[in-house]
Each structure stands twice: as C-alpha cells, then as structure tokens.
A and B are shown apart, each in its own frame.
Chain A
C-alpha cells in the first residue's frame, strides 16, 4: 500500500481532534497549551502534505509550516509569561481559579 495524501490528512485531522479534546478537558493552563501545540502541528502536517502532493515544485506550504513553528514558539513564550504572572497572583495555574471577573 502506498501512503498518499488522504493518509496524511486523516492523521492530521486526528491530531487536531486530539488537540481540541485536550484543550476542552484540561484545567491546567500548561496542559491547554500542549493541546494548542497539537492543533498547530496538525496544521503543519496538512501544509507539508498538501505541498508535497498537490503543489509540486513550489515551496509555499513548506515555508508556511516553518512560520507556524516560529509562531508557536513565540506564542508559547508569551503564554508562559502570562501563566507565570497568573501564578504570582493566584498561586495556581488552574484556569478554573480565574473566576473573579464575571457579571
């Protein structure tokens, strides 16, 4: 059996679903961030697979994937700094404890 575009797309969709489930079920901020990374990697897999199978000879998808990796790193840096600040104020990174703003 040869591995074609659908195989990659299904794998990416499963990764994306796993990421969404992680985001929705975790209450720990860093756990949610891990779920987000899974979703981003699903997109990367899509981009690279599409580039390999349906846009041969161009590099758009590959370059896009590189940018997504950089964005993920930058976002993790900003998010971790904000988690640390939350921890300084609440002594926890459980997102359910952030419940003082409502109305």
Chain B
C-alpha cells in the first residue's frame, strides 16, 4: 500500500468476497428470523438457503478468476480458493441436512438460531482460510473458524461429556493459537512483511534460525486444525462429546481449511530446491506417516462409532498430508482426495446421526441389523466405509491409488510413505469391517430406523462416490485446474 493515499476497493475486490458477504447476510438473517417465526426448522431453512445461495455465488462468472489479489493483497482469488469454497459450502449444506434429519429433534426449542449462527460464522472463517496468504488475515480467519467451533463442541450444555469436550478443545486450541501467533511474529520479523507470498520469494528457501522456529510454530497451529500428530489429541474426545453434525463439520471443514492453507503456503515454498525445503518435505512426510499410523491403530480398540470415525479422520489427515509432502506435484491428488473425503465422511456421519438418534447410542452394537431395518442406509454406509478403506466400487479407491502413484513417481525416495499408505489401508479394513459386520450379519436389536431425510442424504453421497469412480476424469480435471496463484514478486 502506498503511504498517505486512500485506496478504494474496486469491483474485482468485492467479487472476491461474494461468498463471505452472502454468508454474513445469512448470519444476520438467522438472528432476525426468530423474531418473526418461532419454529426451529424455519431458522434451519434460512441457514440452508443462505449457504446454498453462497454456493450459487461461487458459480457466477464474476467469482471465477485465474488468479488475482484483492483488498490490497489481503485476499487471493484463484481456482484453488474457489474449489475449496464450493466443497465447503456443499458440505455445510449437508451438515445442515444432518441437523434437520437427526439433531433438530434433540435440541431444546429456541437453540436453533444460536447453533446456526455459530455454524455459519465458522464456515465464514473456514472459507476465508482458503483464500489468503496474509499473516494477519490468516490468523483472523483461523480464529473466526476456531472460536465458534469451541462453542459448538459444547453445545449440549447440560451433558457432562459435552462440557468436558469443549473444555479440552478450547484449552488445546488456545495454546496452539498462542504458539502460532508467536510463530507469526517471528515470520514477520524475519522478512519485515506480513504477506507470506512476499516472504517466501524474499527468503528464497534459505531460512534464518528465527524463521525456522517461526515456520514450525505456525505449522503447529495448522496441524491442530488438521488434527494431525502431534496436535491430534482433541479430536476423538471432541467428536464423542459433541453432536454428530458438529463432529461431521469439524472432521471435514476444519481439516480441509487447514490443509488448503498449508498447501497454499507450502506450494509457494516448495518451488525452491534448497536443503531446507527438502528437509521440510521430509518433516511433512514423517508427520503424515505417524499420523496415519496413530489414527488407524487408535481406531482398532474403539467401540463407539463416533470415536472410530474420529480416529479414521486422523488417519485420513495422514493420507492427505502424504500428498502434501510432494507438492507441487501432489496438488491434484491432494485436492481430489479432499473432495472424495468430504463426500464419504458426510455419508458416514449422516447414517451415524440417524442410527444414534434411533437407537440412543453410538456404539457399534447400535448398528446391529441395520441392513434389515433400513437396507438403503446400510448399503449407503457400506459404500462410504468401503471408500474410506480405499477399495472399489467407490471413488476412495482411485484417489488413494492416485496419491500412491504420485508419491512413487514424484522423484526422491518416497517409497516409505507409499508403503505406509498401503499397510495402513489394510489395518483400517479391520475396524471398518467391524461396522459392516454389525450392519449385515447381526440380528437387529432396535426397532427404529433412520429418518427418511438421513437415508436420502446418505444415498446421495453413496451414489456420488460411485459416480466419481466411474467418471474419475472430470474430478481429476477439476482438481488439476485448481491451481494456487502466487503474487508476482515485488521489489521494495
């Protein structure tokens, strides 16, 4: 910014925040509507319409950009940010669908506006996280996403588990945020700029000791959002203590935003072939391998399906980070995996929400005989779980194979990550099969079946997964076209 001259945002600036503006308007609407309509579902409907409208905004020609910076370099509008927003908004709409189908019948009357306000403001922050490389906006977006999430985790105020989950989440999150902010201050100091794009080009892959400490401290905050080792401890407890829809939201939205932000920063840095950059890639690879192993081994001894899915989401963070290690070559497989991961997790959590609502428990035994009670939901769940293992006939098979083939051909010795992905997929079969066995081979102990809305939502996810396997090329093209845009180098 040039000193002294007041700059006015231009039209292209405003088109870069079309989604955020729509979400902010929805936020206001969700708070005002309860004054006129006392119905819970009315509020949910307003939120759903707002989120879908924001998705509509991403389809407008004005939202499409090959890459430019907006608001004086604070925001970036590029294909990757657009892809993330589309995935995020459709996923959030799905989460509101789960809320309609299961949770809205369990929350006390009058709590819906608060819930939707928190959900949408978190979505707003997560959407911004995918579209910035400015240190200040990055921090604000992360905090805008985190703070509502802490409250959402403890939304069932009278439940001891929810209180404990939100306490653990807020303390762990606040410490990680403080470490991140300290890291950001070191990054700022090491190059005198708040723009990480400039920072990366200024340092040219050779970092001072202060910058290295800064990079690792910022990485800690991002790993917390991704729920990767060593910042994964909150994940199972928070999932178990919170509503299924909140758990579903955190599993994909929060993780995806962290991954996209990390990918954006790392994509810029990885263009410089220095020993330090190679070291960072190795660190990311090690984090990926350990995260995958911790997630899969942790899931083995769980009886609660919520906790199984929590550990499975840690494992998937590991698979996604595997592709991260070989950026920029791994970008396509990373984004394709993220899209498929969002669909399969939405389907699995939807069925879980329906079963938990019907049976009053999230134990594996609550799934006993689901195939007899509700064959459609059981088959949809089976497709999602098979996709998580990485087997046909679901898209999880191809995206996992794509990650492995990218790692194998990326150059450099990455065979150990390929081996880790393969071995862990076999381990994961054990605990997913536990749910499959309960659904198809055990006699039913409960009468109720998941609501029709839940069944429909899960079937849509399952059909999408199969379709993405059959028509993999368009998905791959979409992911390949979502490039990260780098600001041109500025000479000060």
Residues of chain A touching chain B, judged by Cβ–Cβ distance below 8 Å, are 9, 12, 16, 19, 23, 29, 32-33, 36, 39-40, 42-44, 46-47, 49-50, 54-55, 57-58, 60-61, 63-64, 67-68, 71, 74-75, 78-79, 81-83, 85-86, 88-90, 95, 98-103
User: Which residue of A is nearest B237, CB measured?
Assistant: A101
B120-155 contacts to A, CB under 8 A, are 135-136, 139-140, 143, 147, 150-151, 154
Q: Which residues of B contact A50 (CB under 8 A)?
A: 185, 188-189, 192
B240 touches A (CB below 8 Å): yes
Min CB gap A34→B, angstroms: 11
Min CB gap A8→B, angstroms: 10
Q: A50-B192, A75-B174, A103-B301 are in contact. List 4 more A-B contacts (CB 8 A).
A: A36-B175, A100-B160, A101-B164, A101-B237
- Cα–Cα, bound, A81→B152 (Å): 12
Can you name 11 A-B residue pairings with CB atoms under 8 Å?
A19-B178, A39-B179, A39-B181, A57-B3, A60-B188, A64-B185, A79-B170, A85-B154, A89-B158, A101-B164, A101-B165
Q: Which residues of B contact A19 (CB under 8 A)?
A: 178
Contact indicator A67/B192 (Cβ below 8 Å): no
Min CB gap A38→B, angstroms: 9
Min CB gap B209→A, angstroms: 12
Contact indicator B167/A98 (Cβ below 8 Å): yes
Count B interface residues, CB 8 Å: 47
Q: A79-B171, A100-B164 are in contact. Are A43 and B178 (CB under 8 A)?
A: yes
Contact indicator A64/B160 (Cβ below 8 Å): no
- Cα–Cα, bound, A64→B307 (Å): 38
Q: A46-B186, A47-B188, A100-B160 are in contact. Are A82 and B151 (CB under 8 A)?
A: yes
Partner of A47, one of B163, B185, B237: B185
Contact indicator B171/A29 (Cβ below 8 Å): yes
A interface majority secondary structure = helix
B271 touches A (CB below 8 Å): no
Contact indicator B160/A90 (Cβ below 8 Å): yes
Contact indicator B171/A103 (Cβ below 8 Å): no
Residues of chain B touching chain A, judged by Cβ–Cβ distance below 8 Å, are 3, 135-136, 139-140, 143, 147, 150-151, 154, 157-161, 163-168, 170-171, 174-175, 177-179, 181-182, 184-186, 188-189, 192-194, 236-237, 240-241, 301-304, 307
Contact indicator A85/B164 (Cβ below 8 Å): no
Q: A90-B160, A103-B301 are in contact. Are A75 and B151 (CB under 8 A)?
A: no
Q: Which residues of A contact B237 (CB under 8 A)?
A: 101-102
- Cα–Cα, bound, A99→B135 (Å): 36
Min CB gap A51→B, angstroms: 8
Q: Which residues of A contact B174 (CB under 8 A)?
A: 33, 36, 75, 79
- Cα–Cα, bound, A58→B168 (Å): 39
Q: A78-B147, A85-B163 are in contact. Are A23 and B193 (CB under 8 A)?
A: no
Q: Which residues of B contact A39 (CB under 8 A)?
A: 175, 178-179, 181-182
Partner of A82, one of B160, B167, B179, B186: B167
Contact indicator A67/B139 (Cβ below 8 Å): yes
Contact indicator A95/B167 (Cβ below 8 Å): yes
User: 6 closest A-B pairs (Cβ-Cβ)?
Assistant: A50-B189, A46-B185, A39-B178, A98-B164, A89-B163, A101-B237
User: Which residue of A is nearest B140, CB measured?
Assistant: A67
Partner of A71, one of B143, B160, B175, B301: B143
Q: Which residues of A contact B189 (CB under 8 A)?
A: 9, 46-47, 49-50, 54, 61
Contact indicator B147/A75 (Cβ below 8 Å): yes
Most buried by A among B150, B166, B241: B166
- Cα–Cα, bound, A54→B192 (Å): 7
- Cα–Cα, bound, A101→B162 (Å): 10
Min CB gap A20→B, angstroms: 8
- Cα–Cα, bound, A23→B194 (Å): 28
Q: Which residues of A contact B157 (CB under 8 A)?
A: 85, 88
- Cα–Cα, bound, A101→B310 (Å): 13
Contact indicator B154/A82 (Cβ below 8 Å): yes
Contact indicator A101/B178 (Cβ below 8 Å): no
Most buried by A among B171, B182, B307: B182
- Cα–Cα, bound, A47→B190 (Å): 11
Contact indicator B166/A43 (Cβ below 8 Å): no
Q: Which residues of A contact B143 (CB under 8 A)?
A: 71, 74-75
- Cα–Cα, bound, A88→B178 (Å): 27
Contact indicator B161/A101 (Cβ below 8 Å): yes
Contact indicator A82/B181 (Cβ below 8 Å): no
- Cα–Cα, bound, A78→B236 (Å): 21
Min CB gap A100→B, angstroms: 6
